[in-house]
Amino acid sequence: MRFIKQNAWGFATTGAAAAILIFGIALVYQNYRKEAAVPQYAKDFTLNDFSGRAVSLSMFKGQPVILNFWQASCIFCRYEMPILEEASRRYSEAGLVVLGVHRTSRENLASGRVFASELKITYPLLIDEDAKVYEFYSNGILAIPVTVFIGRDGITASTIYGSRSKADFARLIEQFMEQNK
């Protein structure tokens, strides 16, 4: 009994910290799995690709675009990028543009190059050195990967935070392309 009385403050603070941590994880998970529903015009940006060429979103005006923010250290990105590669090839004649945006503010460019090479990614890979483009398109939600679907009209159709199953992700891409014929 004496032990409990002497350590009551420690038990209370540990319990409170655990409750706050669990609540925080629940909030992050809830935000991580949601899809943004508020359509807005996609904000133009210019980033360099892996070869140093400047690429602007406005270069693809009138085409459906999938922006995918990724990091080499992200296990979900390793799973998702081949699905995007497949979609890029499958829907290229329909005008689909897939742009991978590497968050080099969190890791070096060399790791991104190795990662993309291992996965045999052929769609354009852009470098977001200061994470400004990521911060805008992620709407302040700290998640990776973040995938943004931009319609031919330039309006953001949806934003996905986190990963989906291969079948679910393929279905979302198919629906997006059906809406952008």
Torsion of CA 64, 156, 172, 102, to 10 degrees: 80
Which tokens in the block code for residue 154?
Answer: 């330039």
Asked if 74 is an active-site residue, the reply is no
Which tokens in the block code for residue 66?
Answer: 């999938």
Distance, CA of 78 to CA of 80 (rounded, Å):
6
Name the active-site residue from 72, 77, 116, 144. Answer: 77
Collapsed DSSP state (helix, strand, coil) of residue 95: coil
| Burial tier of 20 (Cβ tally within 10 Å: 0-12, 13-18, 19+) | exposed
Which residue, among 154, 178, 146, has the nearest Cα to 32 in the 3D structure? 146
Collapsed DSSP state (helix, strand, coil) of residue 111: helix
DSSP category for residue 34 = -
Enzyme catalytic residues: 77
